[in-house]
Amino acid sequence: MRDLLLKIRNSEYLSNNEILSIKIALLLVVLFLVSAVSIPFSLILTATTVIQVIVPVAFLLTYGVAWILLVSGAPRTAMHFSILSFFILMGSFLSFSNPIYIYLIVFAILSVIIYYQEGFPFFVYGTILTLFGVAYMLFNVDLFGGDTTQTSETMQIIIYQVTLLLFYVYFLLYFINSEVANDRYYTEYLSSKKLTQKYLENMVRLKDTKIESEYLTPMHERPSFQQALTELSTFLGEMNGKPAKEMQELVEFYFYLHDIDIDEAMHQKTLKYKTKETMRQLKKYLLNANNEFTELAYELLAQTQEGLHPDVKNYETALDSILRFETDRIIAGAMIYRYLKQEVTQLDKWGRVAESLEHGEIKSIFQSKAIKDYLNDRDIGVFLDNEELYKKM
């Protein structure tokens, strides 16, 4: 909770669990205020001794567990106990309250569940609560004033039930749509993340190749950088109560990690846990690896570069939009095939761009969905119908 409050104070990014923790904390405060007023009245007006004992004890138990779980860093479990506390609070009203108030309490608890913005809890607790509300009104028609099916009070009960059902069904469809959309966005994010990582791996490999081919000294091996990092780390460490020698050893260990395979070293059983933990923490700051630091560095660098204007239409890729005559498109398709077959564009086992595509690999490209941005179905058909001619190019 302390870290959460510091994040809020510093306006940092909050995760879904942290946002849920804030919601639970607010609702638990509201629940305390409501229960402080309602439970004493229920104890006075309820004649049944068992209910007078069970309701307060059950409420205090679930309410206390919800706070303990929230403070312990288990917000999702705390959410379930907070909802149970609302259910118990509603149960304290059943024996003496006006039925219309029970109906309003059902809506209030449904609103609390909706406020959490969680699909599964709404499906479980919302379904139970809606069925209870409909059944309660159905089996207590006389309490609502409806003695016969012809009275206006009975019609009001039907309206209450339909309203509750429509309210439940609307938000159920809303949560289903949200879950489907979130799943789609998450899938697209993973696909984009995977593609970005491939680009970053190639960029890191290209940078290492350039340093090696031009006989440059890597940044982590330059004395000026090593001295600056050592002095800065020592100063910051002493400011935070860390011994200078300890910080200097940490910096030396950081430079050493650039020259080893950390993933392989982490599997060594002889290493102490503290050493592995230090390696894991420093891994994301290595200058010669594809890590979070490298991704952030390139992202910041990309923001300083001016990209293509969205209104520029000079970069058309579809041949049928560029070339007017079919003969020209056939020649262009043949040129694309020849380029893919003869130009060196693929990485070899050493990570160097030193290989070209085979005919089968080119064919799979021509049959992929991505090729639709360049060739239409007729252009692709020309290639598939004349494969033997293309192989001779």
Taking only the tens place, the pLDDT of each residue in 313-341 is: 566 778 888 888 888 888 988 898 888 88
pLDDT at 141 over 70: no
The C-alpha atoms of residue 238 and residue 367 are separated, in whole angstroms, by 62
| 117 Ramachandran zone, left/alpha/beta (phi>0; psi -120 to 50) | left
Mean pLDDT of the residues in the chain: 82
Q: Is the dihedral of CA 237, 241, 242, 244 positive or negative?
A: positive
Helix pair angle (2-9, 16-45), 10° resolution:
120
The C-alpha atoms of residue 91 and residue 42 are separated, in whole angstroms, by 10
The per-residue DSSP string of 125-152 comes to IIHHHHHHHHHHHHHTTGGGT--STTSH
Taking only the tens place, the pLDDT of each residue in 79-134 is: 989 899 888 888 777 766 667 777 888 888 898 888 888 888 888 888 998 898 88
Percent of the chain with pLDDT over 90: 4
Helix pair angle (127-139, 152-213), 10° resolution:
180
The number of residues making up the chain comes to 393
Predicted local distance difference test score (pLDDT) of residue 151 = 59
Instruction: Identify the helix (H) or strand (E) that includes residue 117.
Output: none
pLDDT at 312 over 60: no
The C-alpha atoms of residue 106 and residue 102 are separated, in whole angstroms, by 6
Block residue for tokens 């102490």 = 272
**Which pLDDT band holds residue 2 (cuts at 50, 70, 90)?**
low
Of the candidates 204, 256, 206, the one whose C-alpha atom is nearest the C-alpha of residue 226 is 256
Tell me the one-letter amino acid at 144: F
pLDDT at 242 over 80: yes
C-alpha torsion 358→363→369→370, nearest 10: 40
Average pLDDT over residues 346-375: 85
pLDDT at 273 over 60: yes
Stretch among 133-137, 228-232, 272-276, 348-352 having the lowest mean pLDDT: 348-352
Pick the residue with more confidence: 15 or 271? 271
Taking only the tens place, the pLDDT of each residue in 160-173 is: 888 889 989 998 89
Structure tokens belonging to residue 327: 């003969």
What residues contact residue 193 under an 8 Å CB cut-off, 6+ apart?
none
369 three-state secondary structure: coil
Predicted local distance difference test score (pLDDT) of residue 148 = 47
DSSP state of 368: S
Block residue for tokens 């001619």 = 389
Instruction: Give 258's Cβ-side CA count (13 Å radius).
Output: 15
Highest mean pLDDT among 16-20, 52-56, 121-125, 289-293: 121-125
Of the candidates 29, 108, 124, 62, the one whose C-alpha atom is nearest the C-alpha of residue 21 is 29
39, 296, 314, 393 from 330: Cα distances, Å: 83, 44, 22, 14
Of the candidates 140, 130, 139, the one whose C-alpha atom is nearest the C-alpha of residue 161 is 130
| 56 Ramachandran zone, left/alpha/beta (phi>0; psi -120 to 50) | alpha
Of the candidates 51, 57, 76, 56, the one whose C-alpha atom is nearest the C-alpha of residue 66 is 76
What residues contact residue 259 under an 8 Å CB cut-off, 6+ apart?
none
Q: How many Cβ atoms are within 10 Å of 249's Cβ, its own excluded? A: 11
332, 342, 362 from 387: Cα distances, Å: 15, 16, 11
Stretch among 36-45, 52-61, 343-352 having the lowest mean pLDDT: 36-45
First to last CA, the chain: 68
Distance of CA 104 to the CA centre of its chain: 35
259 three-state secondary structure: coil
